[in-house]
Structure formats: structure tokens, C-alpha cells
Amino acid sequence: MIRKEAIEIVSKTLKNQLVVSANGYISRDLFEVCDRLANFYMIGSMGLASSIGLGLALKNPKKMIYIFDGDGNILMNLGSLVTIGSLKPKNLVHFVFDNGMHESTGGQPTSSKNVRIDSMAKMANFKVFHTYTKNHLESILKKINDKMGPIIILIKIERSDHISKRIDISPTLIKTRFMKTIRN
Amino acid sequence: MKEYTQREIFNYFVKKGVENFIGVPDSTMKYFVDQGLKKKRVIIATREEEAIGIATGMSLSKSPSLVFMQNAGFANSLSTITSLVQLYQIPLIFLISWRGYLKNDAPEHTKIGRIQPSLLKSLNLKSKILSENFWKKECSWALNKIRDGQSCALIIRRDFLD
């Protein structure tokens, strides 16, 4: 499974969830697969998708917050696992698409092969799922709900040659259309 | 800044509708943070960038937010300020302590204390220094800024040695 396929599978289950996607190819894949007003594409500030997601989760307890993160991204902000695990928002689902590398900067390795991100999240009070197949990912998505969080779903993915298009809407427009969906 | 003033500043922000106070503490503002902890309105983050991320999620939810930090943390946050707060025009109040303001503050604060005013200027992050006599005016300036959709900084000077 490549990242874009995994993002497609998760996107098919989206209803009114708010999605925050990490910078790099993750946001580009999401934009290409399933652009929607309730997506916040974080194009800079690497590492902070999980923290933005936490702020949203605490202020919107009736909505599910999905974070689309990468291994490189979460490894830059491991402290956020501790803060999320301490505040325990039930409506937060943290997807980590883990290819073991910084794919959008040329495939340089991360350390996610050597230290397990899901184990660290478990220690930080997350409910943990781990998968590397499409079928299993689909069955996990059926199981999760807004009373179980914080949840982390670690999805092992393969490197791909496909590069999705750049996000061609401005950051301020990303923000204003996202905020409108929160108000409704 | 006096204990009484710091506690008053916290209460003033709450009265004026600021709902979230997120950051990494510094002794320069310990009474401000303590007042927030007492009122159960503070989230202590692991790093300043994380605090800005959380506050951004809250601000996107139309919940007014303040982020507090030492100037060492302000230096940590430069990229987050440019590529998140300013890029998306997220209205946040930064409360930043000015370590190294006194010449004989601890040596690790000297350089950042010296370049802090020019960093703020380079970022084009508008700021005001909090004073004992006119803090209400300075805080209300900051509240007006975020109401207009802009981020800004309030600076609290380290005016004592320990």
C-alpha cells in the first residue's frame, strides 16, 4: 500500500470530520484524492499537525478530528503525544502514514524502523492500532468512534513514485473555508 | 513586574474574552501563569512551537488564545510564527518575557536579550512592553489586534535578578 492509497481508503469514510494534514506529500495526496472545505492543509510548520489537531479537538468535542501525519512529522514533535495523552480528547484520531523516510525531501531515512512510534503512543495513553494492509485498515476504520480517543493508527506504507499536484489554494483561503465548516 | 499586577493582567484577559492560555512558563511571569493554573485555564506545552500549534487549532475554532513563553522559546518559534501564524493570518497574543534585559542577567540570556527587539522588527510582529502603570492600555491594544485578525506580542521585562 502506498500513501495515496491509504489516504483514499480513509477519505472514503469521511463525513463531517475535521482533517488536519501534515506538510509535504501528505497534504498534496489529500488535496488530490479528496479536497473538501473541512481539510486544513498545513503547508509549513512541520511537526505541528498533531498540535493543531489537539486544539481543534478540545474546542469541538462533538466533532471527530482526524490528523493525517507522517513519521518524520511526529518525530519532530514527540512532546505532542505526551500533551495529547495527558489531556485525553476522546474525539482525536491520529493517523501516522509511516514510510520510514522523509519522502518529499528525497527519501532520507527517519528512525521509525528502529523505535516504534505506536509503542511510544501507547505509553502516552493512546489507544493503538497498527496495520500494513488495505483490508485491515478498512476494518480498523469501522471499529473506531468518538468515545475511544485519543487513538493512533500507525499505517506502514511503501515508497511511491507518484507525486500529487501542489495545493493551489492560498493559505488564507484554506483557513477561511475551514473555519466556515466549524461554525456550521 | 509585581505579583499583584501579573495576576490582574491574567484576570483582565479572562474578563475580556480570552479563553485559552497555552505556553511554556518562565519565572519572569510566574504569577501570571500561577493565576491561570489556579483558574484551571492554562495548558503547559512541552515546547513553544507546540503551544502555538494548539493555540492555532483553538483560534480556528473562534476561541481567543494567548501563548506565553520566555524569549528563548520565542527564538525557538521563529519558523512557526512565519510559516503558520503569519502565513495563515492566525490572530494570537504572544506574551514573551525579556530575559537579558538587565545587563547582569544570567549569561545564557545575554545574546537573545540583545537581539530580541530586532527579531520582533524583522518578523514585523507588532509589540508593546507591559508597564506597571499602563498595562491595561497595552493589553487592550493587544485585544484589539486579535479582534482585527492580527497576531501581536506583549513583552514582560525581566526587571529583577535571583
CATH number at residue B130: 3.40.50.970
Question: Over 80: is that where the pLDDT of A183 sits?
Answer: no
pLDDT at A22: 98
Check A183 against B62: CB less than 8 A apart: yes
Query: Is residue B162 one of the residues assigned to a domain?
Result: no
pLDDT at A184: 57
Of A43, A45, A83, the CB nearest to B46: A83
Tally of structural domains, chain B: 1
Q: Give the CATH number of the domain where residue A168 resides.
A: 3.40.50.970
**What is the domain range of residue B11?**
3-157
How does the average pLDDT of chain A come out, rounded?
Answer: 96
Query: Is residue B136 one of the residues assigned to a domain?
Result: yes
Contact A134, A109 (CB under 8 A): no
Residue A49's contacts (CB-CB under 8 Å, 6 or more residues apart) are A20, A21, A22, A23, A42, A67, A68, A69, A73, B53
Of B47, B57, B83, the CB nearest to A79: B47
Question: Over 90: is that where the pLDDT of A86 sits?
Answer: yes
The three-class DSSP label of residue B116 is helix
Nearest CA in chain A to B46: A79
pLDDT at A48: 98
Cβ neighbours of A45 in B, within 8 Å? 49, 53, 79-80, 83-84
Percent of chain B with pLDDT over 90: 94
pLDDT at B25: 98
Contact B28, B97 (CB under 8 A): yes
**What is the domain range of residue A93?**
3-183
Tally of structural domains, chain A: 1
Alpha-carbon distance of B154 to B121, in angstroms, equals: 13
pLDDT, tens digit (0-9, with 9 covering 90-100), for B115-158: 999 999 999 999 999 999 999 999 999 999 999 999 999 999 99
Question: Where in chain A does DSSP place strands (E)?
Answer: 18-21, 39-41, 65-70, 92-98, 101-102, 108-109, 127-131, 151-156
Contact A153, A94 (CB under 8 A): yes
Residue in B19, B42, B58, B60 to test binding to A, most A beta-carbons within 10 Å:
B60
Q: How far A136 CA lies from chain B's nearest CA (Å)?
A: 31
ipTM score: 0.97
Distance between start and end Cα atoms, chain A? 35
Contact A67, A94 (CB under 8 A): yes
Query: Is residue B76 one of the residues assigned to a domain?
Result: yes
